[in-house]
Structure 1
């Protein structure tokens, strides 16, 4: 004998309530798990990028940004954009962007060597793409000095011009003329310029 419609709905109602409660709990738990892109420093670990031997930059460097695979730190989990939850030591992680540099073939070691041994001839400046002759000219915008006859003429006067140029190149203040960066070993002596941004700004403490 078939149950009346009202009785069948009455029997099915507790099951619907159970489904609603389960979906609500799932939504609450999913909101407690932070999204992977919102993890802060110390809450995730990233693999070392694959370095190109020729450029000494990450192989997937595009527009001065490279992608590395990261995983949440132990006892921390996060949620991907597709809803999957990622934990420490999983089979897959999430990608984060790291900065990389634009290089065009100018080696830092070669530039320093030319400046040290053949700087008095201006070989370092010719190598970096500054072939112009003339007097020394200080460019305020790039803090660089163009080579000229004065560099050659000051060799007899304690090599002041050669010494100054060597210091500027060794400190990576003077770089290639095309605006690119030196090719420096990825884990080598790289110059990093720091500037105040929203992430590095430190608010002063109010006096008590």
Structure 2
């Protein structure tokens, strides 16, 4: 009789250990899929790798950038944004017209012939007024600039907490005083990077201390999951443990799809 009871107790303990082992393996599988999925995701939209030999030459004629964008903002209104009697080489790109049809070596400073637009007055280093001048610009297309040299639109409708991380189609515009080849307005695929103000440390602290009552899910705006944890006492502790791990690795995030701060 005692042996039979011991066997049942032993079997029960073994079943519990097996259940916990399966949960741990499941969490490890989720984490590995997350990491592997992110590392293997194609980086579409990033600057294409430069594989040519040293000192590549750009020989194709590039119709100008600097001036072609007087565009949409409205005809002759550019004069209001162009400083009067300032240095010609410091004028914003929309104030001048340059000829970018010369061969140049990528990344190397190159001199281009530029002309001020009508009604624009500028001076050289000696203070003399001039209309035609030479501008030194690095031989680089606008989409190859450093990210600090252009502004891109942001999106608050894409999910930032996902594996692999999601991207959105952004419209980028070069800063007005930066000169480059090609179109000054271009498109890129960027990672979703907006935030709704939720703190990862707060979510993790709530998950560890009050996770059995669903406080972590309520904080993240996941009301249905929060109610489920509340009325199931944190899934008898199992759901609580799982959420601590998932929030800890960043797999579970705000319901609005934003990043933690």
Could you tell me the TM-score, scaled by structure 1's length? Answer: 0.39
Higher RCO structure (Cα 8 Å, ≥6 apart)? 2
- The structure richer in helix per residue is 2
Could you tell me the TM-score, scaled by structure 2's length? Answer: 0.33
